[in-house]
Amino acid sequence: MIRQYQPGDLDHCLRIFREIGWMDGKDSDKDIFEAYTDGGSSLVADLDGEVEVFVVTRSGACKYLDDDIPFSAVTGVATSRVARQQGLASRVTVRAIAESAANGAAMSILGMFDQGYYEKFGYGNTVHHRISTFDPASLRVPRLTRSPKRLSKDDATAMNDCRLQRKRFHGGCNLDGEGETKATTIWQEHGFGLGFENDEGVLTHFMWIKPKGEHGPYSVWFTGWETHEQFIELLSVLKSLSDQVHGIRMADPPRLQLQDFLDRPHATFRSRKGGDFDSDVLSQVWMQCRILDLPVCIGAMKCCGTPVSFNLELTDPIQKYLPEESSWNGIGGNWIIRFGENSSAELGTDSSLPTASCSVNDLSRIWFGSSTAESVSVTGHFKADPELIQAIDKLVCIPTPVVDWDF
Could you give the C-alpha distances from 352 to 99, 309, 380, in angstroms and in order? Answer: 37, 10, 26
Q: What is the mean pLDDT of each run of 10 residues along the chain (407 residues)?
A: 95 96 92 95 95 97 97 97 93 97 98 92 95 93 96 97 97 96 93 97 98 94 97 98 94 93 80 71 91 98 96 98 94 98 98 98 98 96 97 96 93
d(CA 204, CA 197): 5
Helices and strands, counts by H and E, the chain: 11, 19
d(CA 217, CA 277): 7
* Pair (261, 173) in one structural domain: yes
**Which CATH number covers residue 318?**
3.30.1050.10
d(CA 376, CA 352): 25
Cβ atoms < 10 Å from Cβ of 397: 11
Residue 228, pLDDT score? 96
Q: Express each pLDDT in 263-282 by its tens digit.
A: 987 777 777 777 777 767 78
* Pair (94, 153) in one structural domain: no
* Pair (298, 348) in one structural domain: yes
d(CA 289, CA 74): 10
Give the count of domains, the chain: 3
Residue 265, pLDDT score? 78
Going by C-beta distance under 8 Å and a sequence separation of 6 or more, which residues neighbour residue 260? none
Residue 171, pLDDT score? 97
Asked if residue 335 belongs to a domain, the reply is yes
Query: Which string of DSSP letters, residue by residue, matches 172-239?
Result: -EEESSSHHHHHHHHHSTT-EEEEEE-TTS-EEEEEEEE--TTT--EEEEEEE-SSHHHHHHHHHHHH
Residue 274, pLDDT score? 73
Which of these, 361, 390, 388, 386, lies nearest to 376 by C-alpha position?
A: 361
d(CA 385, CA 99): 36
* Pair (15, 85) in one structural domain: yes
Residue 251, pLDDT score? 95
Fill in the amino acid letter for 3: R
Residue 292, pLDDT score? 98
**Which CATH number covers residue 100?**
3.40.630.30
Contact 77, 89 (CB under 8 A): yes
Q: State the first-to-last Cα distance of the chain, in angstroms, to the nearest integer.
A: 27
Q: What angle do CA 38, 44, 47 make, to 5 degrees?
A: 155
Q: Express each pLDDT in 331-376 by its tens digit.
A: 999 999 999 999 999 999 999 999 999 999 999 999 999 999 999 9
* Pair (158, 297) in one structural domain: no
Asked if residue 21 belongs to a domain, the reply is yes
Asked if residue 121 belongs to a domain, the reply is no
Whether cis (ω within 30° of 0) applies to the bond prior to 217 is yes
* Pair (277, 134) in one structural domain: yes
CA-CA-CA-CA torsion sign (299, 301, 303, 306)? negative
Residue 168, pLDDT score? 96
Structural domain ending residue among the three candidates 284, 300, 324: 284
Asked if residue 125 belongs to a domain, the reply is no
Residue 194, pLDDT score? 98
* Pair (278, 303) in one structural domain: no
Asked if residue 231 belongs to a domain, the reply is yes
Asked if residue 235 belongs to a domain, the reply is yes
Going by C-beta distance under 8 Å and a sequence separation of 6 or more, which residues neighbour residue 341? 302, 303, 304, 307
Asked if residue 407 belongs to a domain, the reply is no
- Which domain does 378 fall in, by range? 292-395
* Pair (251, 358) in one structural domain: no
* Pair (62, 17) in one structural domain: yes
Structural domain ending residue among the three candidates 261, 284, 307: 284
Could you give the 3-state DSSP secondary structure of residue 163? helix
Going by C-beta distance under 8 Å and a sequence separation of 6 or more, which residues neighbour residue 40? 56, 57, 58, 75, 177, 179
Asked if residue 110 belongs to a domain, the reply is no
* Pair (201, 265) in one structural domain: yes
* Pair (214, 280) in one structural domain: yes
* Pair (179, 267) in one structural domain: yes
Structural domain ending residue among the three candidates 265, 284, 303: 284
pTM over 0.85: yes
